[in-house]
Amino acid sequence: MKRMKLVCLLFALPWLIAFNGCSDDKDKASVNESEVLLKYLEADGGNFINSAYCPAIVSASDVRTTQLAAPATQYIIDVRDTATFRNLGHIEGAHNVLMPDLLTHFKNMSPAPSTYARIVIACYSGQSAAYAAGLMRLLKYDNVYSLKWGMCSWDSVFAAGKWLANTSNSRATSFVTTATAKGTVNDLPVLTTGYSNAEDILEARVQTLLTEGWTPASITNATVYTNLAGYYIVNYWPIAHYNMGHIDGSMQYEPKVDLKDSTYLRTLPLDKPVVVYCYSGQTSGFITAYLRALGYDGKSLLWGVNGMNYDTMPGTKWVSTEIKKYPYVTGN
């Protein structure tokens, strides 16, 4: 009898191994990465994009005050290209870290990022820094902020050709007050990182997006206006501001409310780029980071409405008094 049981077991063993192997493969294949990631971001991930902490922006005056009073509590990262950082100048003590290297830099920081009360990411205008800060915030680096208006607010030498040259009324006559309804409900984008754990999926997505850089995540209004119907345009303003005038065909999404799974996130399409615009392009940088992490082809509209309808727009305007004329250094 024992011999018969042993024979049966030996006969069945290969089938059991094969079955379990197929079962494991099926489990891996059945993981919907975007669903896993979205649930994590809205729960254990802190729901940053819909929280009171988004956008996480700090002013030049706050950075300067801390630089003078408690410099050891603040860590400044400048993501501009190295030639500009060295030759045009930068905030004293800032570390020049290009966007593709940002996550590695955070992991290798000594002391650790959590040691600092605030980590400030600076760029040219505040827009690419907002995008980078948004990605790092998704990874629970909760002390990361972008520098408001970028280096343009530090001194006029940095604002030339940037914010000083990019406020405009070029689209003022094209804005409309007619509302456009949100799209129909869609599936979430398909993610293929190969991971099943939400934190692993997220880190892989963030590194991919950092490596791609800011360019694929941004778009000019000139490009959008060549084919308005070719983009799903998200007006990320309160409804009262939307009703004052907006890009023709754009749909209003209430900040901190409408980009949730329980509300209207899934009305974003998969078959066209999702262009997000705000007042200055800084908040939309954070929102675009979130959408791209989930797999949407999100794009932040450069310069926001400051670059299209400056005189009559509501919300945050760039003004020359934002330039603080703080000291800076050149070289490494």
What is the CATH classification number for the domain harbouring 97?
A: 3.40.250.10
* Structural domains of the chain, count: 2
Residues of the chain with pLDDT under 70: 1-30
Could you tell me if 139 and 230 lie in one domain? no
Could you tell me if 177 and 160 lie in one domain? no
The reported pLDDT for the residue numbered 2 is: 44
What token pair was written down for 154?
Answer: 């530090």
pTM of the model: 0.91
Q: Does residue 34 fall inside a structural domain?
A: no
Could you tell me if 267 and 160 lie in one domain? no
Could you tell me if 152 and 184 lie in one domain? no
The SS3 of residue 289 is: helix
Of the residues 165, 194, 226, the one at which a domain ends? 165
Could you tell me if 288 and 186 lie in one domain? yes
Note down the domain range covering 102: 48-165
Q: How far apart are alpha carbons 120 and 56 in whole angstroms?
A: 10
Output the CA angle 273-285-225, nearest 5 degrees.
45
Could you tell me if 107 and 71 lie in one domain? yes
Could you tell me if 216 and 292 lie in one domain? yes
Of the residues 165, 184, 204, the one at which a domain ends? 165
The reported pLDDT for the residue numbered 42 is: 97
Q: Does residue 208 fall inside a structural domain?
A: yes
Q: Does residue 184 fall inside a structural domain?
A: yes
User: What residue spans of the chain are helical by DSSP H?
Assistant: 2-29, 33-42, 60-69, 82-83, 102-108, 127-138, 156-159, 198-212, 221-225, 239-242, 282-293
The reported pLDDT for the residue numbered 8 is: 44
Q: How far apart are alpha carbons 95 and 105 in whole angstroms?
A: 10
The reported pLDDT for the residue numbered 21 is: 46
Q: Does residue 224 fall inside a structural domain?
A: yes
Query: What's the number of CA atoms in the CB half-sphere (13 Å) around residue 132?
Result: 35
The reported pLDDT for the residue numbered 39 is: 97
Q: Is the peptide bond before 269 cis (omega within 30 degrees of 0)?
A: no
Could you tell me if 150 and 180 lie in one domain? no
Q: Does residue 39 fall inside a structural domain?
A: no
Q: Does residue 7 fall inside a structural domain?
A: no
Could you tell me if 159 and 189 lie in one domain? no
Could you tell me if 144 and 203 lie in one domain? no
Could you tell me if 96 and 219 lie in one domain? no
Could you tell me if 261 and 216 lie in one domain? yes
What token pair was written down for 146?
Answer: 């972008």
The reported pLDDT for the residue numbered 22 is: 44
Q: Does residue 194 fall inside a structural domain?
A: yes
